[in-house]
Structure 1
Amino acid sequence: MFGEIWLNGDTGSNMSSSTAYRWLTQRLSAGVCRLPTTFRRRHHSRQLVLIFVIMILLLHLLSTISNTKRPRRSIPQSVTSHFLFEGMHGNESKNFTKHIWLFNNSDAERIYLYTNLLQKHQWKTSPQYLDNLRQELNAETNMSTDRDLILTQTNVKLDQELRCYVVNKRIFWKQPTFVVTENFISTLPKESPFKGRRYQKCAIVGNSGSLQNSKCGSQIDSMDFIFRCNGAPIEAFTQDAGKRTDFVTFNPSILFKNFGGLTNESVIASYIDFMDQYNSVIWYPCFGSRQLVEPCLKAMSYRDQIDSQLVIGHPSHYVSMWEFWKRRGLKKKPSTGFYLINVAATMCNEIHLYGFWPFPVELRERTVHQTAYHYFNDIPFTSHHNSDGEFRILLQMHMLGTLNLHTGTCTQ
């Protein structure tokens, strides 16, 4: 056959190249051109090996991508070492240019502008703007915070599917839903402890390292209702973070980070002892992620040994707040602190924020200080949320009098 001769190197001297090309194309389309049997088998085996190798490489690549951690945000060196320009001009009071700042990058400029806006703006509450926000939230979320912030026996039904709002694609064999059972309903409170409640002044305490040496503790404790985020410790930090708590969130992932997944009596005792510092409502987002539902419910099972009231966040309430801000440009999942601000907007007449500084440096008394990620530990500075986008909204809320964003040192 011509196909065999052509493959063996004989191009067919009696045939022109165009004629040979047309002849070969016709035979291929008709299926009559065949390679020798031994060659075909060898060629087919090579194809299988090549496909197999490519599949292994693809699986390895996908595994590498899925297991790669988000790079931690390092402190920009130019921000910490070249932030100020005035040092070149001495300290003479008559020098004008010592008041001029030189920015080596946009991070330094942004921190400077944010700080000056906050420090030089005389904050005044605006009940009208807060009421407008409250009305928007109530109209668009179709959820009532005082009734639906937590799961109760009145807002869930038997056999109802509660959908988790963060789906981990690596746990593909687990359905992102939880079916409500009679036993589950029996563990829920009959109604929300916040039903019909409204508070005059509320403090939301974030976990930023900006709280260190702030001396804001007494100011925080003077509020009528105090929210705290993600099981932050307070006993050793009362001077800066206060000691009172009325509502604290507790992410189930903390059960593995700090309490070994509650797998033995020792870590369970440590968990119960840790919870005793709050004596408040402890809010668990059990239905944030499907793989954390069972560990979260296990943690809830020790409610009789803990003085605080353990409750479960309603997943639909969180999602409704997420959708509200997604329609306004914040696509990423809201941080716990940002979510609590929306909760407070419907429960409080005045909102005060502490520890909501999401940057690795801060400016105090015209001096740059490095800022820890948390006020209670020394983990590297990082961010899992749209911290910059959220902070820009909080800054504008502060300017409009909707909330008071406290930074720096507190004064009585």
Structure 2
Amino acid sequence: MWMCRMRKCILLWILLASGVFFLLTFWIKYDAALHYREIANKDWRDCLATACGGRRGMRELESAVSPHRPLPTSNSSNTNQNGSTFNKLNLLKADSSSCKELHNRMSATTPRKRYSDDYYIQTVNELQKCSWVIRPEEHEKFRSELSVCCNAVRNFIVSQNNTPLGTNMSYEVENGRTFLITQRIFKMFPQSQPFAGYPYNQCAVVGNGGILKNSACGTEIDQADFVFRCNLPPTLGNISIDVGSKTSLVTLNPSIITHRFGKLNEKRKPFVETVSHYGEAFLLLPAFSFRSNTALSFKVYHTLEAFRGKQKTIFFHPKYLKSLALFWRSKGIKVYRLSSGFMIANAAIELCKEVRLYGFWPFSKNNEGKNISHHYYDNQLPKPGIHSMPKEFYHFLKLHNKGIIKLQFGRCDIT
């Protein structure tokens, strides 16, 4: 009996000793963990107070990771150089790895037959988070490609140098049709390409998209050395705040002459008054794209001559337009005809050291998802089946991504 009790007592002591040993071990490990955590916190604070950004950086990082403070939301925003807003943390992230990833992805992408509007808007919003810089080597490489295929410096405009007297001019679209350049026609052409300031330092190519409304881009546009516009757009009054008023060259579709000015049979004076708003700009017409364009384009020349207008009438060279269409067909734009805005943007890349595009937006919603008109002055949609502006816009995005041109997506800086 006594031996039995002794065994029970010994077993009890062993259990008690084991419990005490376990508690001591746990306490030592816990104390060590607290000690090393304090050392780590001290090192972290020392880093933030010196090389990692100072006390201000320490406070910002502490507040960003603190479980007692909410994380920034989409309303916590800063304004970027293009006037759009986005989260500061997203911008810092995008300016490093995200922008490189986006650049590589867009450079490697083979265009599909069609993308949704949402795809374009998402891509634009991603691009806006990345600061844009011109890349002279990429610009020169692409300019050289255009020069080899199309040579805007020599062939953009019909001139006496590139179209000798007696030439049978082939039309751009109507294959097999020609037009004899007589002495009377030959005298309409400038002796050479009329761009005396070539190469221009900075050019603005202004489309007519509804995205220009409330953009406040007018001042920036007017600061360009050469300003291209399309199809006699309005520039007077308050709208100039958004689109500017300076015009160096403006295209003119003969359909405008037909519908707005009665083919210049009785509305010659209203036409002259309208184009007078563009100062001494060049009026660029596609006289040799279709036969129906030729007589109307020549009427513009003679009307301005009769009224002593300051504007100079010039004509697209059909050889240039054909070559440009073939060049872009090889890159996936297989359309009946390129848009005039796309044509002059390509010419600008050859004629200018830096090209900025405004108002090129072929969608019914802006990049914030709000409904906008097709043009900044009306909501008239283009005829279907002639142009493919979303495809053209896709390639503009790729050129923007490479630093060859700069696309303005929204509001401009207001200084």
Same fold (TM over 0.5): yes
Q: Residues 117 and 363 of structure 2 are in contact (CA less than 8 Å); yes or no, is this contact kept in structure 1?
A: no
2:167 partner amino acid: Q
What CA deviation, in whole Å up to 9, does each residue of 1:108-159 have, x standing for no partner? 5314412312321210100110100111112223x3x233221122221233
Query: Which segments of 5 or more consecutive residues in structure 1 lack a partner in the other structure?
Result: 1-91, 100-105, 169-174
Question: 2:10 matched to which residue of 1?
Answer: none
What CA deviation, in whole Å up to 9, does each residue of 1:19-53 have, x standing for no partner? xxxxxxxxxxxxxxxxxxxxxxxxxxxxxxxxxxx
Provide the aligned C-alpha RMSD in A. Answer: 2.4
- Aligned pair partner of 1:326 in 324, 329, 338: 329
Question: 2:234 matched to which residue of 1?
Answer: 233
1:94 to partner: Cα distance: 5.8
**1:401 has 2:403 as partner:** yes
1:137 partner amino acid: L
| Partner SS, residue 310 of structure 1 | strand
C-alpha separation in 2, matches of 1:325 and 1:176: 23
Question: 2:3 matched to which residue of 1?
Answer: none
C-alpha separation in 1, matches of 2:161 and 2:215: 42
1:353 partner amino acid: L
2:262 partner amino acid: G
Bigger CA radius of gyration: 2
Q: Residues 157 and 193 of structure 2 are in contact (CA less than 8 Å); yes or no, is this contact kept in structure 1?
A: yes
**1:340 has 2:339 as partner:** no
- Aligned pair partner of 1:308 in 295, 308, 311: 311
C-alpha separation in 2, matches of 1:257 and 1:285: 17
Q: Residues 272 and 304 of structure 2 are in contact (CA less than 8 Å); yes or no, is this contact kept in structure 1?
A: no
Q: Residues 286 and 293 of structure 2 are in contact (CA less than 8 Å); yes or no, is this contact kept in structure 1?
A: no
After the TM superposition, which residues 160-175 of structure 1 pair with which residues of structure 2 at under 5 Å, given as runs?
160-167=167-174
1:382 to partner: Cα distance: 6.1
1:153 partner amino acid: Q
C-alpha separation in 2, matches of 1:139 and 1:291: 31
**1:297 has 2:301 as partner:** no
2:188 partner amino acid: T
Q: Residues 157 and 316 of structure 2 are in contact (CA less than 8 Å); yes or no, is this contact kept in structure 1?
A: yes
C-alpha separation in 1, matches of 2:199 and 2:74: 51
Question: 1:247 matched to which residue of 2?
Answer: 249
| Partner SS, residue 214 of structure 1 | coil
What CA deviation, in whole Å up to 9, does each residue of 1:165-199 have, x standing for no partner? 2239xxxxxx7321111111122222222257111
Question: 2:141 matched to which residue of 1?
Answer: 132
- Aligned pair partner of 2:122 in 113, 126, 129: 113
**1:147 has 2:154 as partner:** yes
C-alpha separation in 2, matches of 1:287 and 1:199: 27
1:359 to partner: Cα distance: 0.6
Aligned length: 302
Question: 1:157 matched to which residue of 2?
Answer: 164
**1:273 has 2:273 as partner:** yes
What CA deviation, in whole Å up to 9, does each residue of 1:244-296 have, x standing for no partner? 011111111110121111121xx111111111011211111111111121111
1:225 partner amino acid: F
- Aligned pair partner of 2:388 in 386, 389, 402: 386
Q: Residues 210 and 374 of structure 2 are in contact (CA less than 8 Å); yes or no, is this contact kept in structure 1?
A: yes
C-alpha separation in 1, matches of 2:299 and 2:121: 46
Question: 2:42 matched to which residue of 1?
Answer: none
C-alpha separation in 1, matches of 2:187 and 2:73: 70
Query: Which segments of 5 or more consecutive residues in structure 2 lack a partner in the other structure?
Result: 1-68, 77-114
What CA deviation, in whole Å up to 9, does each residue of 1:187-230 have, x standing for no partner? 22222222571111111000101101111000101111111112
C-alpha separation in 2, matches of 1:293 and 1:381: 22
Q: Residues 373 and 382 of structure 1 are in contact (CA less than 8 Å); yes or no, is this contact kept in structure 2?
A: no
What CA deviation, in whole Å up to 9, does each residue of 1:325-351 have, x standing for no partner? 112221212111111121011111111
Taking structure 2 as the reference length, the TM-score comes to 0.68
**1:203 has 2:204 as partner:** yes
C-alpha separation in 1, matches of 2:75 and 2:278: 48
1:385 to partner: Cα distance: 1.2
| Partner SS, residue 253 of structure 1 | helix
- Aligned pair partner of 2:262 in 255, 260, 280: 260
Question: 2:288 matched to which residue of 1?
Answer: 287
C-alpha separation in 2, matches of 1:108 and 1:269: 42
User: Taking structure 1 as reference, are residues 126 and 167 closer, same or farther at Cα in structure 2, changes over 3 Å only?
Assistant: same
Greater share of residues in helix: 2
Q: Residues 228 and 247 of structure 2 are in contact (CA less than 8 Å); yes or no, is this contact kept in structure 1?
A: yes
C-alpha separation in 2, matches of 1:112 and 1:292: 36
Q: Residues 202 and 225 of structure 2 are in contact (CA less than 8 Å); yes or no, is this contact kept in structure 1?
A: yes
1:248 partner amino acid: V
C-alpha separation in 1, matches of 2:297 and 2:212: 29
2:396 partner amino acid: L
C-alpha separation in 1, matches of 2:301 and 2:370: 40
What CA deviation, in whole Å up to 9, does each residue of 1:60-107 have, x standing for no partner? xxxxxxxxxxxxxxxxxxxxxxxxxxxxxxxx97697999xxxxxx73
| Partner SS, residue 254 of structure 2 | coil
C-alpha separation in 1, matches of 2:147 and 2:116: 36
Question: 1:362 matched to which residue of 2?
Answer: 366
After the TM superposition, which residues 62-73 of structure 1 pair with which residues of structure 2 at under 5 Å, given as runs?
none
Q: Residues 111 and 362 of structure 1 are in contact (CA less than 8 Å); yes or no, is this contact kept in structure 2?
A: no
Question: 1:80 matched to which residue of 2?
Answer: none
1:380 to partner: Cα distance: 4.1
